[in-house]
Amino acid sequence: MPSPQSYVPTLYKARRVPTKQVVCAICVERTRGRTKELNMGYGVSVWLCEAHASREFQTQRGGRDLVLTLQRLWRAHGCLTAARDKALRAHLAALQGPNARPRPGSYTWPTLRAEAEHHFAAGAPPHTVIAALRARHAADTARAPSIRTMRRWCAERRWLSRPP
Ligand SMILES: [Zn+2]
């Protein structure tokens, strides 16, 4: 029988796993290539490899692939918090299409929202995007959407249900 060290997966001195970056939350010791932070709204984010962060994987089977996987991982880590649970539900809701539920605020500032969503979808940190866009409209006569509203735009992740 081989010693446990020879077959129990571990990140300690794991071969071929890049050490200068965060591992993919799903691949763990099988992480290959670059990882990036995916913001899911509600202050929840997760680091994923290119394949797991791809639009294709995120939208696969109506988002259930990603949601089920993260739910089970977070349960295993003992960190399936209310916020994480909310973020997962929002992910599924985002993939039920634009008519799945009323979206207040989608009539106002549509261009600004589209621009914000473009940056959110590309993985830009929500607080940076929101601060930059609000700063740009600070001098406008019309009051720009609140931080809370713009955070909701990020959490709703409407871009997932639309073609790229
Ligand atoms: Zn991965």
Q: What tens digit of pLDDT does each residue of 41-55 get?
A: 999 999 999 999 999
Residue 98: predicted pLDDT: 58
Q: CA quadruple 121, 71, 86, 21: dihedral positive or negative?
A: negative
Nearest residue to 87 (alpha-carbon basis) of 97, 98, 79: 79
Q: Are 95 and 63 in contact (CB under 8 A)?
A: yes
Distance 32 CA to ligand 1 centre (A): 8
Phi and psi based region of residue 136 (left: phi greater than 0; alpha: psi -120 to 50; beta: remaining): alpha
159 C-alpha to center of ligand 1: Å? 21
What is the distance in A from the centroid of ligand 1 to the CA of 25?
A: 7
Parts of the chain with a pLDDT under 70: 1-6, 97-108, 163-164
What is the reported pTM?
0.70
pLDDT in tens, 13-25: 888 888 889 999 9
Torsion sign across C-alpha atoms 99, 104, 109, 114: negative
